[in-house]
Amino acid sequence: MKIHEYQAKEILKKFGVAVPEGSVAFTVEEAQKIADDLGGRVVVKAQIHAGGRGKGGGVKLANSAQEAQGIAQNMLGMKLITPQTGPQGKEVKCLLIAEQIDILNELYAGIVLDRIRSQNVFMVSTEGGVEIEKVAAETPEKIVKEYIDPAVGFQPFQARKLAYALNLEGDQVKACIKFLLALYTAYEESDASLAEINPLVVTKDGRVLALDAKMNFDDNALYRHPEAKAMRDLSEEEPSEVEASKYNLNYIRLDGEVGCVVNGAGLAMATMDIIKLAGGEPANFLDVGGVASSETVSNGFNILLAHPKLKSVLINIFGGIVRCDRVAQGVVDALTKVEVTVPIVVRLEGTNAEQARQLLEESPLEFIVATDFKDAAEKAVAAARGA
Amino acid sequence: MSILVDENTKLAVQGITGGEGSFHTRHMIEYGTKVVAGVVPGKKGQEFEGVPIYNTVAEAVEHEGANASVVFVPAPFAADAVMEAAQAGVEVVVCITEGIPTKNMINAYEYLRHRKTRLIGPNCPGIISPGKTKVGIMPAAIHQKGSVGVISRSGTLTYEAVDQLTRLGLGQTTCIGIGGDPIVGSQFVDLLPLFEDDPETEAVVLIGEIGGSAEEQAAELVKDGKVKKPVVAFVAGKTAPPGRRMGHAGAIIAGGKGTATEKIAALKDAGVQVCDSPAVIGQTVAQALGK
């Protein structure tokens, strides 16, 4: 789960990570008030779940509370387009108003899971303020890593090594060590899956601060972090995906015309791939889970049918413990409840597949029954073209 | 032969009385798996389908000689159950549970690193050695005894591949679902050498997907000459958008890394036969074996 920068900074502050003074504003009046309290010289930052905000005009400096008010007026409600939002952009609903910082040096610090080692890794770099993926690709030697031993956690000597690797001196080292140790505690205690400070800045008055902050949470651990769960901003997510999550369906909206309803995530991805191979474009990823009952199938259909480009639907179910005839009955029941205007191709394989095919053929509804995986994809793509 | 589990496997089921645990235990017994014990704290002395229940895995090992366990325990408690099985000394623990917090798994992984127990999963369908034993939730009927090894990060996509093999008369030595989470106990590289050493396995099917670098590591192993048997692969997610988690917690292209294209290129470079379509996995294996 993603959160906004201002929320990440609230969490970090709670754990003793140094962040610039500031707070969130949802209205122009709030923005002016906060800017006033901070002495007028502030930065106004649009809060959306995407990076590259500066490039899209989502980060602006103000030298007075009045100026901040003017910027806030323009920014609130605007569609912010950045390299990460796509061409449609994202509506700005709130702003972070923070003190301006006199920067001496821009650095990078981040913690993330290393999947090869099955351990967390703490990374720092002197190359702050640019995308870390770019640094990793072009100058990997400029990223210094310390792996975190799960038995003892991140140790002070590791923080020292990282601070020295950042070429810091004197009091900056001490401030940086304190910063890194606090950042680790925040990551660990909140079950984060990412904590990224880019840039981490050294100020002219010797402070070490998180100028920007990004935190993601492990969805599987949200049950024990109600405070983090409450930070989810549904308006940042695709509405059809929010709707699907209410029914515990794994749905991701894509841009194609062939919808798919599949049981199992791997098979669902493979189904998207085979649609593409057959010359079509998948309209979505949808895993209805192992059960694939009448209810999950009809909920899935309702979400799918809202897609404006949808021209055909491919139902691909591999019945294992769940028998195909029961799935077929579910599909028939679902389609008597939901009005479907596009052709439906059904491919059921596995336990009781024969009975299932018979059931579909005998139903008053119209299905295109496919014989195998490839046939199903080709029929679904052909149906989309004909529609 | 087969790898990891066979007719000598004596299985303890952790969470045998739960919804999933009881349902799949019946199916495993029906298949012929020697389920020797159930483990449910507080239910010692009870029975399920004639199988004695104990409070701890250690008791199941001591009294019934359990040498493997399967975990159906709910996500918040599953990593703990895995560590309990490892401490009790079973050879293999298969964790079916989906949704375990990463932090719990980092700790469990570290705990197992220092012990002899091998973990398969979590978030996986389990292991089956057709004709011998089934430790998991896969539909038994599609499997057939034979000479192909299968290792996969997926569930139903594995069933799809196995079904294709069986229809072509290509049976399997052992099929293993390694799980769809970012941290799993065993990766392709841990299991490929076991198939390489198994005299009955003639070819291996490897089913990967986007996210992480398990496929690239497997490619390196093959390239280094450590796997000489033919390997046929499919990597799901060529059409998956970056930055989105595709159902499995581990199936995500992060920071431009972990794409299907990269994985396919690495595997092809190592001489692995990569199927473009998930519909031709079976026939590609048949060709590789000259059948």
Domain with CATH 3.40.50.720 in chain B: 10-120
Instruction: Flag if A349 and B163 touch (Cβ within 8 Å).
Output: yes
Q: If you average pLDDT over every residue of chain B, what do you get?
A: 96
Closest B-chain CA to A275: B239
Q: What share of chain B is helix, strand, coil (3-state, %, to 5)?
A: 35, 25, 40
Q: Is the pLDDT of residue A293 over 80?
A: no
Distance CA B151, CA B233 (A): 10
Closest B-chain CA to A277: B277
pLDDT of residue A246: 87
pLDDT digits (tens, 9 = 90+) for A39-61: 999 999 999 998 889 888 999 99
Active site residues of B: 248
Instruction: Flag if A269 and B246 touch (Cβ within 8 Å).
Output: yes
Quickly state the pLDDT bin for A6 (edges 50, 70, 90).
very high
pLDDT of residue B212: 95
Pick the more confident residue, A46 or A336.
Answer: A46
**Chain B residue numbers touching A273 (CB-CB < 8 A):** 236-239, 260, 277-278
Token couple for A60: 């602006």
Instruction: Flag if A266 and B158 touch (Cβ within 8 Å).
Output: yes
Instruction: Flag if B156 and A318 touch (Cβ within 8 Å).
Output: yes
pLDDT digits (tens, 9 = 90+) for A204-225: 988 999 999 999 999 999 999 9
Instruction: Flag if B156 and A191 touch (Cβ within 8 Å).
Output: no
pLDDT of residue A18: 97
Mutate to test the interface with A, among B80, B95, B103 (most CBs of A within 10 A): B103
Measured between CA atoms, how close is A184 to chain B, in angstroms? 13
Collapsing DSSP to helix, strand or coil, A79 comes out as strand
**What is the percentage of chain B residues whose pLDDT exceeds 90?**
96
Q: Is the pLDDT of residue A325 over 90?
A: no
* Out of A270, A350, A372, closest to residue B157 by CB: A270
Q: Is the pLDDT of residue A362 over 90?
A: no
pLDDT of residue A298: 81
pLDDT digits (tens, 9 = 90+) for A13-34: 999 999 999 999 999 999 999 9
Domain with CATH 3.40.50.261 in chain B: 139-288
Q: If you average pLDDT over every residue of chain A, what do you get?
A: 93
β strands within chain A, DSSP E: 22-25, 42-46, 59-62, 79-80, 90-91, 95-99, 103-114, 119-125, 143-148, 192-203, 208-210, 214-217, 250-253, 258-262, 284-287, 312-319, 344-350, 368-369
Mutate to test the interface with A, among B156, B186, B281 (most CBs of A within 10 A): B156
pLDDT of residue A323: 78
B210-218 average pLDDT score: 96
Q: Is the pLDDT of residue B268 over 90?
A: yes
pLDDT digits (tens, 9 = 90+) for A137-185: 999 999 999 999 999 999 999 999 999 999 998 999 999 999 999 999 9
Closest B-chain CA to A376: B279
Measured between CA atoms, how close is B188 to chain A, in angstroms? 12
pLDDT of residue A291: 63
Distance CA B274, CA A168 (A): 49
pLDDT of residue A61: 96
Write the CA distances from B111 to A272, B62, B79, B118, integer angstroms.
38, 21, 10, 11
A352-374 average pLDDT score: 87
Catalytic residue among A6, A108, A187, A251: A108
pLDDT of residue A55: 87
Q: Is the pLDDT of residue A304 over 80?
A: yes
Helices (H), B47-121: 57-64, 75-88, 102-113
Token couple for A292: 């694939």
pLDDT digits (tens, 9 = 90+) for B226-237: 999 999 999 999
> pTM for this one?
0.94
**Chain A residue numbers touching B102 (CB-CB < 8 A):** 113, 191, 193, 218, 220-221
pLDDT of residue A254: 95
B277 burial type by CB count under 10 A (0-12 exposed, 13-18 middle, 19+ buried): middle
Instruction: Flag if B156 and A193 touch (Cβ within 8 Å).
Output: no
Closest B-chain CA to A349: B160
Quickly state the pLDDT bin for A292 (edges 50, 70, 90).
low
Distance CA A45, CA A29 (A): 16
pLDDT digits (tens, 9 = 90+) for B163-202: 999 999 999 999 999 999 999 999 999 999 999 999 999 9
CB contacts < 8 A (A, B): 170
CATH H superfamily, domain B139-288: Succinyl-CoA synthetase domains (3.40.50.261)
**Chain B residue numbers touching A290 (CB-CB < 8 A):** 155-156
Query: Lowest mean pLDDT: which of A244-253, B61-70, B96-105?
Result: A244-253
Quickly state the pLDDT bin for B257 (edges 50, 70, 90).
confident
Query: Lowest mean pLDDT: which of A202-211, A216-225, A365-374, B263-272?
Result: A365-374
* Out of A116, A221, A321, closest to residue B103 by CB: A221
Mutate to test the interface with A, among B31, B239, B284 (most CBs of A within 10 A): B239
pLDDT digits (tens, 9 = 90+) for A93-104: 999 999 999 999
* Out of B100, B152, B239, closest to residue A220 by CB: B100
B108 burial type by CB count under 10 A (0-12 exposed, 13-18 middle, 19+ buried): buried
Pick the more confident residue, A75 or A83.
Answer: A75
Q: How far is C-alpha B196 from the geometric centre of its chain's CA atoms?
A: 17
**CATH number corresponding to B10-120:** 3.40.50.720
pLDDT digits (tens, 9 = 90+) for B26-45: 999 999 999 999 999 999 99
**Chain A residue numbers touching B279 (CB-CB < 8 A):** 274, 372-374, 377
Reported as type and span, the H/E element at residue B203 is strand B203-209
Distance CA B193, CA A166 (A): 42
Distance CA A40, CA A38 (A): 6
Q: Is the pLDDT of residue A322 over 80?
A: no
Closest B-chain CA to A320: B139
pLDDT of residue A335: 83
Instruction: Flag if A133 and B101 touch (Cβ within 8 Å).
Output: no
**Chain B residue numbers touching A372 (CB-CB < 8 A):** 279
**Chain B residue numbers touching A266 (CB-CB < 8 A):** 152-158, 180, 207, 209, 236, 247-248, 251
Instruction: Write the ipTM.
Output: 0.95
